[in-house]
Amino acid sequence: MANRFDVRSQPGFGTIAIFTFALLYLPILALVVYAFNGSESLTVWGGLSLRWFVAASQNDAVQDAALRSFIVAIWAAGVATIAATMAAIATTRVAPYRGLAFKYAFINTPLMVPEIVTAVALLIVFSRVKVWTGYSGLGYLILAHTAFCIPFAYLPIRARLESMDASLERAAADLYATPWQAFRRVTLPLLRPGIIAGFMLAFVISLDDVVITEFVKSGGQDTLPTYMLGQIRRTVTPEVNAIATAFLALSILLVTVFFFINRKKA
């Protein structure tokens, strides 16, 4: 019997893997290390200290930006996940028909369009709406983030739906369950891991966005990423490293929580 192909046995695989991981994670490791730097310099080590974490936690501008980021991300991820769930069901629980592939591509268009194009388009539209309505609140940021978060939530939800056994839903219908009862008691429980994954992905994408937020936000509506960008343009201190490290810790926490939620029980 011929040996099965294993890419790990190919010459140079280990070297390439080590180089790739180093390229990905060494900059992040340097960022985390220098977040604990007691010096005011980004490159000169001044001893181990929590100084910049304390400074960031006591900075009113950081607190306001962080709270605003979470408000926008939670609303945008929630609305995007609901819309993505309905879109996923509408494009998977139907018989194939002409135009279905176009709808699938249309939903995922924001993934392929350069973000700067989306940002400029939203800026033009919202600038006119602001003139007509006189409203300049956070609603524009939430709508903008929702628009580009939908495909990120849609992909894991659709993937989960495609892997589910549709015969369970048909069995519920045969037992005289209404469409809503079948969805609530059969489809939704089975779909929950995909919905959680879609929400978390949309939440992180919204929380991390800079380009669209920078174009759409009004004065005094900085999110944490745009605040960090503004600080880097002025004076760079290890406080930015501390904020970025906190972002990293939050991302790891979300991934860990998702892992334990979806871990298969023995």
Q: Are residues 43 and 90 in the same domain?
A: no
- Inside any domain, residue 4: no
Q: Are residues 113 and 168 in the same domain?
A: yes
- Inside any domain, residue 111: yes
Is the pLDDT at 71 greater than 90, yes or no?
yes
* Confidence bin at 266 (pLDDT 50/70/90): very low
In angstroms, rounded to a whole number, what is the distance separating the alpha carbons of residues 99 and 117? 26
CA nearest to 244, candidates 224, 259, 264, 222: 224
Q: Are residues 38 and 131 in the same domain?
A: no
Is the pLDDT at 235 greater than 80, yes or no?
no
Mean pLDDT, the chain, rounded, equals 84
Is the pLDDT at 1 greater than 50, yes or no?
no
In angstroms, rounded to a whole number, what is the distance separating the alpha carbons of residues 82 and 263? 24
The 3-class SS string of the chain reads: CCCCCCHHHCCCHHHHHHHHHHHHHHHHHHHHHHHCECCCCCCCCCCECCHHHHHHHCCHHHHHHHHHHHHHHHHHHHHHHHHHHHHHHHHHCCCCCCCHHHHHHHHCHHHHCCHHHHHHHHHHHHHHHHHHHCCCCCHHHHHHHHHHHHHHHHHHHHHHHHHCCHHHHHHHHHCCCCHHHHHHHHHHHHHHHHHHHHHHHHHHHHHHCCHHHHHHCCCCCCCHHHHHHHHHHHCCCHHHHHHHHHHHHHHHHHHHHHHHHCCCCC
- Inside any domain, residue 42: yes
In angstroms, rounded to a whole number, what is the distance separating the alpha carbons of residues 228 and 249? 17
Q: Confirm if 185 and 177 have CB atoms less than 8 A apart.
A: yes
pLDDT digit string (tens) for 81-103?
999 999 988 888 777 778 778 88
pLDDT at 114: 87
In angstroms, rounded to a whole number, what is the distance separating the alpha carbons of residues 18 and 15? 5
- Inside any domain, residue 1: no
Give the range of the structural domain holding residue 32, as residue numbers without chain letter. Answer: 9-49
* Confidence bin at 265 (pLDDT 50/70/90): very low
* Confidence bin at 78 (pLDDT 50/70/90): very high
pLDDT digit string (tens) for 190-212?
888 889 888 988 998 898 888 99
Reported residue count of the chain is: 266
Q: Confirm if 102 and 96 have CB atoms less than 8 A apart.
A: no
Q: Are residues 22 and 115 in the same domain?
A: no
- Inside any domain, residue 246: yes
In angstroms, rounded to a whole number, what is the distance separating the alpha carbons of residues 26 and 259? 25
- Inside any domain, residue 2: no
Q: Are residues 198 and 119 in the same domain?
A: yes
Q: Are residues 139 and 226 in the same domain?
A: yes
pLDDT digit string (tens) for 133-190?
888 888 899 999 998 899 999 988 998 888 887 777 778 777 777 778 888 888 888 8
Instruction: From residue 77, give the alpha-carbon distance in Å to each of 84, 152, 173, 200.
Output: 10, 10, 31, 8
Q: Are residues 24 and 137 in the same domain?
A: no
In angstroms, rounded to a whole number, what is the distance separating the alpha carbons of residues 18 and 8? 12
- Inside any domain, residue 175: yes
Q: Are residues 23 and 91 in the same domain?
A: no
Q: Are residues 142 and 40 in the same domain?
A: no
Q: Are residues 63 and 98 in the same domain?
A: yes
CATH code: domain of residue 100? 1.10.3720.10
Q: Are residues 94 and 19 in the same domain?
A: no
Tell me the whole-structure pTM to 2 decimals: 0.82
Is the pLDDT at 216 greater than 70, yes or no?
yes
Residue of 111 and 8 predicted with greater confidence: 111
How many domains, in total, are found in the chain? 2
Is the pLDDT at 46 greater than 90, yes or no?
no
Q: Are residues 199 and 232 in the same domain?
A: yes
Maximal CA-CA distance, the chain: 74
Is the pLDDT at 264 greater than 70, yes or no?
no
Q: For residues 118-145, give the mean pLDDT.
A: 89
- Inside any domain, residue 266: no
